[in-house]
Amino acid sequence: MKSKVVQLIIIAALVCLVSIVAWLVASGPRNPIALLRVVDPSGKPIAAAVVQPEGLRTKPGPYVSGWYSWRTGQNKVPDSPAMTDSEGYARLPYPKYVFERIETGTLCLSVEHPDYVPARPECRVTIAPPTGAPWRVWIDYLTDRIRRKELIAPTAPIVLQKGAVLKLSLKPGSGSPHGSFLTAQVSDLAADTGNFWTRPAAGLLMTRRLRPGPSAVRVVQFDPGGSIWFGAVTSITAVAGQTNEIMVELKPGLSVRGLLDQTVARPVHDGRIIAHVWPKNEDVSSSPPQWHTWTNIQPDGSFELHSLPEGDLELVAICDGFVSTNGPGKFHFHYPQKYSLEGSDLNVVLRMEPTACLEVTVQNDQGKPLPDAQVSTWPNVRYGEWAATVIGEDCYNTVDLLNSAGKDSPNRRVLFRPVHFMATTDLSGWAIIRNIPCEADVFTVEHPRYVLPAADTGFGQKRRQSAMVLHPGQTNSVTVQLEPATQSPITHY
């Protein structure tokens, strides 16, 4: 009898334990929380450092090399910044999955503190194999942990460096005669980084947060009348704790005036011209000071861009039914047309070519029309053989970012991004996307309950994309059938 009572007590205790664990799991956060620590080079904690989420990378495997945006919709994790406490710790919730069932392994962050060099670290938050990993992967992982005597691998601390001092002053008589607002661009530094520059006196710009090592710097001055003055891009090698002084001469920016060629019928509708200027003889992979701007194209096909720095100019235009012809490039992207902007204003005629339309009929797994499905594609333009973005949607001005630096505005990071390459299916399951450059070769379909079947890319990855072939000036039709979203989620293994 006594043994039965003991058994009942043990069973009841186990049931309670399981219930408590289940309650903790159910009531706890849906996504993990990274415990990040920010320290100086000596290991001393840094309080009040701001940690801003920027992107994600996956756990080791076929997807790890990609950079993924911080998704705030489906995963319900806001990209809100976190601030370190007196011990240098910050708690940052992050999405458990980068997408579907592909697990997050690394966080891409930016970290700022007014006394240290801005940093953009990548923090590996978990190294355990993903769910479903083969037993050999787990054995290798456990063996490595035992060999290192680390059964739990902690997240490496984020180390902020003390910066070098940089003083930038204008040559006498240089720059705007009105002595207007002065700022500067530094390689690999976001244009809207706050609290970076101080202005001790008129015509003097200073920072104590310059990253040690080689950098490229360009001084920029805004005239009250709206024009912009630029200094030459100057290369320096900074040393922490030391002062670097540079005297610069400013010149007014240049203008580009142009016209779309006669391929485009007038009047031109919904036209946009986008310009990107790289400094000459600088390695674009080091993110040297660069300039980006855009404007609308007039109905007669003309456009004007003012106050641009000298350098290698790239132009891309898009309007209803047409896009600028492909410039020189190595890969399967759309490339801007390239010019040299040096010494004087420039007049150009942009060559244009017809775009295409994509007509998609979407069906569910039973072959019936599926309304309210979002069809989209993402034709990319590639700047400087380095950076790519959706063509015609990078409508922002570097000048606006520089002017917003350090301002406590919730909208200072928001860019004007017109969305043109998507459409929603009607009751018959039909949608049409217009104005697509013909380099685009895939599209996707999103729906709350259905997805495209996953296709193997040939590189160990799967993507929910469908191929398409576009013919310029034509409407190209395709029909796709979706499957239930829960049927075959994409996993690591």
Q: In CATH, what number does 356-379+421-484 get? A: 2.60.40.1120
**What is the reported pLDDT for 190?**
87
The segments of the chain whose pLDDT lies below 70 read 1-30, 72-76, 145, 148-154, 406-419
CA dist 131 and 370 (Å) reads: 33
Please answer whether residues 188 and 225 qualify as being in contact, where contact means their C-beta atoms are separated by less than 8 angstroms.
no
Preceding omega of 45 cis (within 30 degrees of 0)? no
In terms of Cα–Cα distance, which of 492, 292, 315, 298 is closest to 399? Answer: 292
Give the residue carrying structure tokens 């994409």: 490
In terms of Cα–Cα distance, which of 444, 476, 442, 472 is closest to 326? Answer: 472
**CATH architecture for segment(s) 34-159:** Sandwich (2.60)
**What is the reported pLDDT for 414?**
46
Query: Which string of DSSP letters, residue by residue, matches 301-319?
Result: SEEEEEEE-SEEEEEEEEE
196 exposure class (CB count in 10 Å sphere: 0-12, 13-18, 19+): buried
pTM of the model: 0.87
In terms of Cα–Cα distance, which of 32, 26, 24, 27 is closest to 96? Answer: 32
**What is the reported pLDDT for 15?**
57
**What is the reported pLDDT for 29?**
46
**What is the reported pLDDT for 312?**
97
Tell me the CATH number of domain 164-252, given options 1.10.287, 2.60.40, 1.10.3470, 1.10.357: 2.60.40
Rounded (5°) CA angle 303-386-317:
20
Question: What's the Rg (C-alpha) of the chain?
Answer: 27
Please answer whether residues 55 and 70 qualify as being in contact, where contact means their C-beta atoms are separated by less than 8 angstroms.
yes
CA dist 106 and 363 (Å) reads: 37
SS3 333: coil
**What is the reported pLDDT for 153?**
59
Q: Which fold has domain 254-354+383-400?
A: Immunoglobulin-like (2.60.40)
